[in-house]
Amino acid sequence: MLNKEVQEQGKQSVQELYISYDSARKLKSAFNSLRLGDDQTWLDAKDWLGNTVKHSLPFEQISTIESFAQNDEQSALIIRGLPIDHDLCATPYKGYLSPSKTPLVSGIHIGIYQLAGIEPISYQNENNGLLFRHVVPAQNALNEKSSHGSIHTFGHHVDNPDLPLVCEPITEQSGCPEFLSLMALRTDLRVNSNFILLDELISCLSSGVIGELSKPNYLINRPDSFGQAKGSRLPILIAGQNGVVYCRYDKENTTPLTESAAAALVMLEAQLQNTNLKRHLVYQPGDLLIIKNQRVVHSREGFHPRDDGSDRWLIRLFGMSSLDRIIPHKNSKHIGKD
């Protein structure tokens, strides 16, 4: 059970950076002509990509990015005005596009991870093991409540919540992603995304509700983005040794197993509708949001795509502070067993 000191932390913060014209020009000049192939070639070049990002930004912005991963109080970082590829193809409704087709966005995305000390990762059975996931209204998934769905609201969630959180041991499965980022290539002003900081959410709950949410009385199912169905009995909240609270709530994949658990879940979900807690974000092309996946819950409102090739298109990337939380799949240390 979480103690009162942990419950009253509420110290999380959101940082926001704006990229200048000069910095954007430098990034575009450095990355626009990249000719790398599959995921592994991009990962092999991450040191160079990180150094290039570093040499394109002012010192203050470099410091903010470098400190993000290790600072417990910083839980979300929004970087606005990054350059994107000028010759984009139609929105990839099938959900896949080689990173070589978006060299500027791919290079900047991995470069910022490298500057922040974040290891890019993927999972064996999620997104076909590919590094980048294209968050688009996929033609075969419009009715799903997932990153490839669109018509229905995609409720508040932590990605891949059935996997072990930071403060839980790794045995047969890789850990839950610690970081999640979304970079906007095409946007839709009708579509509202939002996120809620965990400590602010917890501060609105009673100690009794928090205690119930900390018990392993919830069935957490594997998300639709995985190619296999699986459920685990787990707590929604758990505190680490440093007193930081982590979360695995997923609106679409959480089922209470006792009456007390159900009552606590109702109270949690009531606060998730609290407009005072929600931080709204309407993406613009070139926006990059990085969140600490287990410290923030995020959602997206439903929308009807136009199917005209210019629909909303974001690129998602997962990350870890260390590959020690990954059980490597076959010959790739960046693809985790799940």
Task: Return binding residues for Fe cation.
Answer: 298
Q: Are 199 and 259 in contact (CB under 8 A)?
A: no
The binding site comprises: 298
Burial class (CB in 10 A: 0-12, 13-18, 19+), 30: buried
Could you tell me the CA-to-CA distances from 70 to 20, 56, 117, 321 in Å, in that order? 26, 22, 9, 8
Alpha carbons 131 and 238: distance in angstroms, whole number: 28
Contacts of 9 (CB under 8 A, 6+ apart): 199, 202, 243, 244, 245
Alpha carbons 249 and 237: distance in angstroms, whole number: 8
First to last CA, the chain: 27
Q: Are 268 and 205 in contact (CB under 8 A)?
A: yes
Among 245, 185, 191, which residue's Cα sits nearest to residue 10? 245
